[in-house]
Structure 1
Protein backbone atom coordinates (compact mmCIF):
# COMPACT_ATOMS: atom_id res chain seq x y z
CA UNK A 1 0.00 0.00 0.00
CA UNK A 2 1.34 3.36 -1.02
CA UNK A 3 1.70 6.19 1.52
CA UNK A 4 1.47 9.08 2.05
CA UNK A 5 -0.75 10.76 -0.47
CA UNK A 6 -0.02 8.37 -3.32
CA UNK A 7 -3.06 6.62 -2.29
CA UNK A 8 -3.72 3.06 -3.21
CA UNK A 9 -5.27 2.71 0.23
CA UNK A 10 -8.88 3.85 0.27
CA UNK A 11 -10.47 4.30 3.66
CA UNK A 12 -14.24 4.29 4.06
CA UNK A 13 -15.95 6.57 6.58
CA UNK A 14 -19.57 7.41 7.34
CA UNK A 15 -20.83 10.80 8.44
CA UNK A 16 -24.42 11.69 9.32
CA UNK A 17 -25.14 15.39 9.63
CA UNK A 18 -28.42 15.73 11.48
CA UNK A 19 -29.00 19.49 11.58
CA UNK A 20 -27.78 22.81 10.18
CA UNK A 21 -25.64 23.53 13.24
CA UNK A 22 -23.73 20.25 12.76
CA UNK A 23 -23.29 21.07 9.06
CA UNK A 24 -21.99 24.54 9.90
CA UNK A 25 -19.49 23.05 12.37
CA UNK A 26 -18.31 20.37 9.91
CA UNK A 27 -18.04 22.36 6.67
CA UNK A 28 -14.57 23.62 5.63
CA UNK A 29 -15.29 26.73 3.50
CA UNK A 30 -11.62 27.69 3.10
CA UNK A 31 -11.08 24.79 0.66
CA UNK A 32 -11.68 25.76 -2.98
CA UNK A 33 -14.10 22.92 -3.76
CA UNK A 34 -15.26 22.60 -0.16
CA UNK A 35 -14.67 19.92 2.41
CA UNK A 36 -15.87 18.44 5.67
CA UNK A 37 -14.41 17.67 9.06
CA UNK A 38 -15.08 14.02 9.88
CA UNK A 39 -14.75 12.92 13.52
CA UNK A 40 -12.80 9.66 13.77
CA UNK A 41 -10.37 7.87 16.05
CA UNK A 42 -8.66 6.14 13.10
CA UNK A 43 -5.14 7.19 12.15
CA UNK A 44 -4.71 8.99 8.83
CA UNK A 45 -1.91 10.86 7.13
CA UNK A 46 -2.06 14.05 5.09
CA UNK A 47 -2.79 13.17 1.48
CA UNK A 48 -4.54 9.86 2.23
CA UNK A 49 -7.45 9.14 -0.09
CA UNK A 50 -10.73 8.52 1.70
CA UNK A 51 -14.22 7.50 0.66
CA UNK A 52 -17.04 9.07 2.64
CA UNK A 53 -20.71 8.11 2.76
CA UNK A 54 -22.48 11.31 3.77
CA UNK A 55 -26.05 11.50 5.04
CA UNK A 56 -27.44 15.02 5.18
CA UNK A 57 -30.16 15.98 7.63
CA UNK A 58 -33.51 14.45 6.59
CA UNK A 59 -32.21 12.97 3.32
CA UNK A 60 -32.22 9.17 3.56
CA UNK A 61 -29.95 8.90 0.50
CA UNK A 62 -26.24 8.53 1.22
CA UNK A 63 -23.98 10.75 -0.89
CA UNK A 64 -20.68 9.05 -1.84
CA UNK A 65 -17.68 11.38 -1.67
CA UNK A 66 -14.06 10.71 -2.60
CA UNK A 67 -11.53 13.10 -1.16
CA UNK A 68 -8.13 13.65 0.41
CA UNK A 69 -7.11 14.21 3.99
CA UNK A 70 -5.92 17.82 4.34
CA UNK A 71 -6.34 18.34 8.09
CA UNK A 72 -5.75 16.13 11.11
CA UNK A 73 -6.89 16.63 14.70
CA UNK A 74 -5.10 13.87 16.62
CA UNK A 75 -6.43 12.34 19.82
CA UNK A 76 -5.69 14.67 22.72
CA UNK A 77 -5.54 17.83 20.58
CA UNK A 78 -5.34 21.15 22.41
CA UNK A 79 -8.55 22.87 23.38
CA UNK A 80 -10.48 19.60 23.68
CA UNK A 81 -10.95 19.51 19.91
CA UNK A 82 -12.41 16.21 18.76
CA UNK A 83 -10.14 13.78 16.92
CA UNK A 84 -10.81 13.60 13.21
CA UNK A 85 -9.79 14.62 9.72
CA UNK A 86 -10.57 17.35 7.23
CA UNK A 87 -11.55 15.90 3.86
CA UNK A 88 -11.06 18.07 0.74
CA UNK A 89 -13.45 17.36 -2.14
CA UNK A 90 -10.91 19.05 -4.48
CA UNK A 91 -9.89 17.11 -7.57
CA UNK A 92 -12.53 14.48 -6.94
CA UNK A 93 -15.36 17.05 -7.26
CA UNK A 94 -14.24 19.47 -9.98
CA UNK A 95 -17.82 20.31 -10.95
CA UNK A 96 -18.71 21.24 -7.36
CA UNK A 97 -21.68 18.84 -7.16
CA UNK A 98 -20.94 17.79 -3.59
CA UNK A 99 -20.42 21.35 -2.40
CA UNK A 100 -23.66 22.43 -4.11
CA UNK A 101 -25.63 19.63 -2.45
CA UNK A 102 -24.37 20.67 0.96
Structure 2
Protein backbone atom coordinates (compact mmCIF):
# COMPACT_ATOMS: atom_id res chain seq x y z
CA UNK A 1 0.00 0.00 0.00
CA UNK A 2 1.37 3.41 -0.98
CA UNK A 3 1.44 6.02 1.76
CA UNK A 4 2.55 9.47 0.61
CA UNK A 5 3.01 12.40 2.99
CA UNK A 6 3.46 15.70 1.19
CA UNK A 7 3.17 17.85 4.31
CA UNK A 8 4.65 17.68 7.78
CA UNK A 9 1.17 18.24 9.30
CA UNK A 10 -0.22 15.12 7.64
CA UNK A 11 2.77 13.08 8.85
CA UNK A 12 2.26 14.45 12.38
CA UNK A 13 -1.42 13.43 12.29
CA UNK A 14 -0.53 9.87 11.25
CA UNK A 15 2.62 9.13 13.27
CA UNK A 16 2.25 6.88 16.33
CA UNK A 17 5.10 7.57 18.79
CA UNK A 18 3.32 5.47 21.44
CA UNK A 19 4.46 2.31 19.66
CA UNK A 20 7.98 1.48 20.90
CA UNK A 21 9.30 1.00 17.35
CA UNK A 22 7.06 3.67 15.84
CA UNK A 23 4.09 3.33 13.56
CA UNK A 24 1.64 5.10 11.30
CA UNK A 25 -2.10 5.44 10.95
CA UNK A 26 -3.20 4.32 7.47
CA UNK A 27 -6.62 5.51 6.33
CA UNK A 28 -8.28 2.67 4.43
CA UNK A 29 -11.77 1.30 3.86
CA UNK A 30 -10.33 -2.22 3.67
CA UNK A 31 -10.97 -4.42 6.70
CA UNK A 32 -7.92 -5.86 8.46
CA UNK A 33 -7.47 -8.08 11.49
CA UNK A 34 -5.23 -7.31 14.45
CA UNK A 35 -1.78 -8.78 13.91
CA UNK A 36 -2.23 -9.00 10.15
CA UNK A 37 0.85 -8.21 8.07
CA UNK A 38 0.70 -5.03 6.02
CA UNK A 39 3.31 -3.84 3.56
CA UNK A 40 3.74 -0.09 3.13
CA UNK A 41 5.70 1.97 0.63
CA UNK A 42 6.24 5.23 2.51
CA UNK A 43 7.11 8.60 1.00
CA UNK A 44 8.03 11.41 3.41
CA UNK A 45 7.70 15.19 2.88
CA UNK A 46 10.43 16.73 0.70
CA UNK A 47 12.10 13.33 0.22
CA UNK A 48 12.01 11.55 -3.15
CA UNK A 49 13.08 8.26 -1.51
CA UNK A 50 10.43 5.57 -1.04
CA UNK A 51 10.76 3.44 2.10
CA UNK A 52 9.39 -0.11 2.29
CA UNK A 53 7.99 -1.16 5.66
CA UNK A 54 6.61 -4.59 6.54
CA UNK A 55 4.47 -3.82 9.60
CA UNK A 56 1.60 -5.36 11.52
CA UNK A 57 -1.89 -4.05 12.21
CA UNK A 58 -1.88 -3.01 15.87
CA UNK A 59 -5.26 -1.28 16.07
CA UNK A 60 -8.34 -0.74 13.95
CA UNK A 61 -10.58 2.29 13.62
CA UNK A 62 -13.82 0.94 12.12
CA UNK A 63 -16.18 2.72 9.76
CA UNK A 64 -18.52 5.12 11.59
CA UNK A 65 -16.19 5.35 14.60
CA UNK A 66 -17.19 7.75 17.37
CA UNK A 67 -15.93 11.29 17.20
CA UNK A 68 -15.87 11.24 13.41
CA UNK A 69 -12.52 9.45 13.38
CA UNK A 70 -11.24 8.30 10.00
CA UNK A 71 -11.59 4.61 9.19
CA UNK A 72 -8.23 2.85 8.98
CA UNK A 73 -5.54 0.91 10.80
CA UNK A 74 -2.61 1.64 13.07
CA UNK A 75 0.47 -0.09 11.66
CA UNK A 76 3.24 -0.98 14.09
CA UNK A 77 6.75 -0.86 12.64
CA UNK A 78 8.97 -3.92 13.01
CA UNK A 79 11.92 -3.66 15.41
CA UNK A 80 14.62 -3.99 12.75
CA UNK A 81 17.50 -1.60 12.13
CA UNK A 82 16.27 -0.41 8.72
CA UNK A 83 12.88 0.60 10.11
CA UNK A 84 14.49 2.15 13.20
CA UNK A 85 16.31 4.53 10.83
CA UNK A 86 13.01 5.39 9.11
CA UNK A 87 11.44 6.09 12.52
CA UNK A 88 14.35 8.38 13.40
CA UNK A 89 13.95 10.18 10.06
CA UNK A 90 10.23 10.72 10.75
CA UNK A 91 10.98 12.03 14.24
CA UNK A 92 13.65 14.35 12.80
CA UNK A 93 11.13 15.75 10.30
CA UNK A 94 8.52 16.26 13.03
CA UNK A 95 11.01 17.75 15.50
CA UNK A 96 9.30 19.35 18.50
CA UNK A 97 5.86 18.83 16.93
CA UNK A 98 5.93 15.26 18.31
CA UNK A 99 5.21 16.60 21.79
CA UNK A 100 2.40 18.87 20.57
CA UNK A 101 -1.08 18.56 22.06
CA UNK A 102 -2.63 19.12 18.63
CA UNK A 103 -5.13 16.34 17.83
CA UNK A 104 -4.04 13.48 15.56
CA UNK A 105 -5.67 10.51 13.85
CA UNK A 106 -3.95 8.24 16.36
CA UNK A 107 -4.03 7.47 20.08
Aligned partner of 1:89 in structure 2 is 77
Aligned partner of 2:86 in structure 1 is 98
The structure richer in strand per residue is: 1
Aligned partner of 1:75 in structure 2 is 63
Cα distance in structure 2, aligned partners of 1:94 and 1:63: 13
**TM-score normalised over the length of structure 1:** 0.81
The structure richer in helix per residue is: 2
Aligned partner of 2:93 in structure 1 is none
Runs of 5+ consecutive residues of structure 2 not aligned to the other structure: 91-107
Aligned partner of 2:21 in structure 1 is 33
Q: RMSD of aligned C-alpha atoms?
A: 1.2
Task: State the secondary structure of the residue aligned to 1:90.
Answer: coil
Structure 1 residue runs of 4 or more that deviate by more than 3 Å after TM superposition? none
Runs of 5+ consecutive residues of structure 1 not aligned to the other structure: 1-12
